Structure 1
Amino acid sequence: MDRVSSPGSLFQSRVLVLDGAVGTELERRGVPTPRPLWSAAALLTHPQVVEQIHRDYVEAGAEIIVANTFRTNVRTLRAGVLERGAELNRLALELARKVAQRHEGTQARRHEGGGQSSALPVLVAASVAPVEDCYSPQLVPDEAMLDDEHAQMMAWLKAAGPDLVWIETMNTVREARAAARAAANAGLPCCISFVTRENGDLLSGEPLEAAVAAVEPFGPIALGLNCIPPDGMTRNLPRLRSATQSVGGAHGAETVGDAHPTRLRSATRKAGSAHGTLLAAYAHINNPTPIRGWSFSQQVTPEEYAKYARRWIELGASIVGGCCGTTPAHIAAVRATVDMRAVTRET
């Protein structure tokens, strides 16, 4: 995390662009993603494609790229490669970090040569997914088991050195809480995102407000929604915003030994909601199928997706990106919208 000397500056009074999908982008590029490893298999078979995807997102304008650690957790790796857990997480972070550092080097050289440069570092986040299938909340184990598995995952990630962890697609209150607690105990700043039903409840049927209340004491930088359709994002984001404002936040991560979360939290107070927690929004644009994994038949064009992103910014989102099915073209369209926008957030 020392790579970014002043990460908080990225969160001051501006909208950040998150990257898009990795797993479905691997599939789109012809890389096999067999279950249970899914996207993690590419770390062993096609690391150069993983790196290229990260590079394409940065070139599209992403300021946060998420390493390919969505399926490098304990439960998934028990399918024969558990002993390589630390190695796979380290490799995933190395691939993303290499791209981020190359981008920063290019920006620095451009600036030294008298050209324009954003001079902004690309943050590298590590994805932390549910230990079971994202759409199967009934499979989520008890909290003691969740604590053990997420603690191991955070230990692997801590050693690999991301700028932050991105806990995403959380479908139950207890797993969101367990993952947030593990991140705080490891001294890793985190963002947390939930997957919801059409009505805004978690897939488990638990209220979104209960999930927000469960994780806020651990001081997340941002709370978000992901892996839901764009229309669902537009419909449910106001509920998330209301929940974060109602809870108020205990900001427990500021008491963690590492000072990095504190610097980030201090900056987010200037850009986020009244109590400092940012809102993140990144939707999926195609549907899971039981045979292939994802259907690519129902596409939302980059231009259409950017219009959705503009609306999410109006609704209070400070971080916008893409989930399953989105491509570098979608993120480039979002980047263009953010750069040219005159979007006023609703109060």
Structure 2
Amino acid sequence: MTKQIQILDGGMGRELARNGAPFRQPEWSALALIEAPQYVRQAHDAFIHAGAQVITANSYAVVPFHIGEARFQADGAALAWLAGSLARAAADASPHPVCVAGSLPPALGSYRPDLFEPVAAGAILQVLIDALRDSVDIWLAETQSAIAEVRLVAELLKGDRRPLWFSFTLNDALDEQGHARLRSGERICDAVTAATELNAAAVLFNCSPPEVMSAALREAAANCTLPLGVYANAFEPADNKRGANVGISELRTDTQPPNYLRWAQEWVGQGASIVGGCCGIGPEHIAALAAAFPPAGSLHHPLGVSHD
């Protein structure tokens, strides 16, 4: 039986910048929501046209870390609602079945598990959850650097019937034993064990170099039976600006669609059934994935749960 692969979209921020949308740090992809939301819809449409079966609402940067505390208090709920509505409209207009994933980011800073504090993070995430609730089919806690971050998301979503996907970000290099680690230093086996205990519907790895994903997949596959996925970034390894709000990172030149597809084929061979892209991965990459992998069928009701 042919393995069916679910195709995710790619990186929203870089696609916005490439298309001429307002784009800068610290607002990142939230700036287009604030000033020119039509570009967000355009990006969703481009990824759908490329073959994405799951698109992610552009709520990642709708947090005080990016837009500031005052703007978040005044406009955060409305901006997150707009992000969900734009994704929902694009999915509903698609000629093929498309699901909407509600992005729940690391609320207090990407790649910064040291900044995590559950009360402050929970207050921010609750605003996003309430605003996105009517638009999404899947909850996607993404770029999670520590197990504590996903435990908080699971608690906030207790009782919600929609699938919950946990996506962890990894250290850029393997440890001395050749193992991938979360950016917190925690082990992959511990992360997937926690995800299973928290009733996650899938475990993914994102916003990390393609080279470290295979090691994470091997360990994840050995420690859980949940669906696994990968959406890597295209950051230049030598660029030291990869912390959010530090600057606009350089993109590497060896992640063109044919190369990225070869990595994706390796991940699928190691057990991944969900593939897509993160920062720097555009519609042309997603088109290459969609052409290479068989469609996973109707995703309007992912894993048996319908959109309310």
Pick the TM interval, shorter chain.
Answer: 0.7 to 0.9
TM superposition shift of 1:299: 4.1
Q: Which residue of 1 aligns with 2:45?
A: 55
Q: Which residue of 2 aligns with 1:148?
A: 123
Deviation larger for 179-188 or 47-56: 179-188
Q: Which residue of 1 aligns with 2:305?
A: none
Are the aligned partners of 1:155 and 1:186 in contact in 2 as well (CA < 8 Å)?
Answer: no
Q: Which residue of 1 aligns with 2:132?
A: 157
Q: Which residue of 1 aligns with 2:230?
A: 281
Structure 2 residue identity aligned to 1:278: P
Q: Which residue of 2 aligns with 1:267?
A: none
TM superposition shift of 1:76: 4.4
TM superposition shift of 1:38: 1.6
TM superposition shift of 1:289: 5.0
Are the aligned partners of 2:100 and 2:135 in contact in 1 as well (CA < 8 Å)?
Answer: no
SS in 2 for 1:134: coil
Q: What do the CA deviations read for 1:237-281 (whole angstroms, capped 9, x no partner)? A: 11122232xxxxxxxxxxxxxxxxxxxxxxxxxxxx3xxx21011
Q: Which residue of 2 aligns with 1:193?
A: 167
Residues 34 and 185 (structure 1 numbering): CA distance in 2 closer, same or farther, change over 3 Å? farther
**Structure 1 unaligned regions, length at least 5:** 1-11, 108-119, 245-272, 341-347
* Candidates 192, 195, 215, aligned match of 1:235: 215
Residues 76 and 187 (structure 1 numbering): CA distance in 2 closer, same or farther, change over 3 Å? farther
Structure 1 residue identity aligned to 2:88: R
Structure 2 residue identity aligned to 1:101: D
* Candidates 83, 88, 98, aligned match of 1:97: 88
Higher-helix-fraction structure? 1
SS in 2 for 1:127: strand
Are the aligned partners of 1:224 and 1:240 in contact in 2 as well (CA < 8 Å)?
Answer: no
Residues 14 and 184 (structure 1 numbering): CA distance in 2 closer, same or farther, change over 3 Å? farther
Q: Which residue of 1 aligns with 2:185?
A: 205
CA distance in 2, matches of 1:69, 1:232: 26
Structure 1 residue identity aligned to 2:235: N
Deviation larger for 38-47 or 211-220: 211-220
CA distance in 1, matches of 2:160, 2:132: 9
TM-score (normalizing by structure 2)? 0.84
Residues 185 and 289 (structure 1 numbering): CA distance in 2 closer, same or farther, change over 3 Å? farther
The one of the two structures with greater contact order (alpha-carbon pairs below 8 A, sep at least 6) is 2
- 1:36 and 2:26 matched: yes
Residues 55 and 289 (structure 1 numbering): CA distance in 2 closer, same or farther, change over 3 Å? farther
Q: Which residue of 2 aligns with 1:181?
A: 155
Structure 1 residue identity aligned to 2:82: L
> Which has the larger Rg?
1
Q: Which residue of 1 aligns with 2:257?
A: 302
Q: Which residue of 1 aligns with 2:299?
A: none
- 1:103-142 correspondence to structure 2 within 5 Å: 103=94, 107=95, 120-141=96-117
Structure 2 residue identity aligned to 1:332: A
RMSD: 2.1
**Structure 2 unaligned regions, length at least 5:** 175-179, 296-308
TM superposition shift of 1:146: 3.2
Structure 2 residue identity aligned to 1:220: A
Work out the number of aligned pairs and report it: 281
Residues 33 and 82 (structure 1 numbering): CA distance in 2 closer, same or farther, change over 3 Å? farther
Q: What do the CA deviations read for 1:147-176 (whole angstroms, capped 9, x no partner)? A: 333333322222x32111111110011111
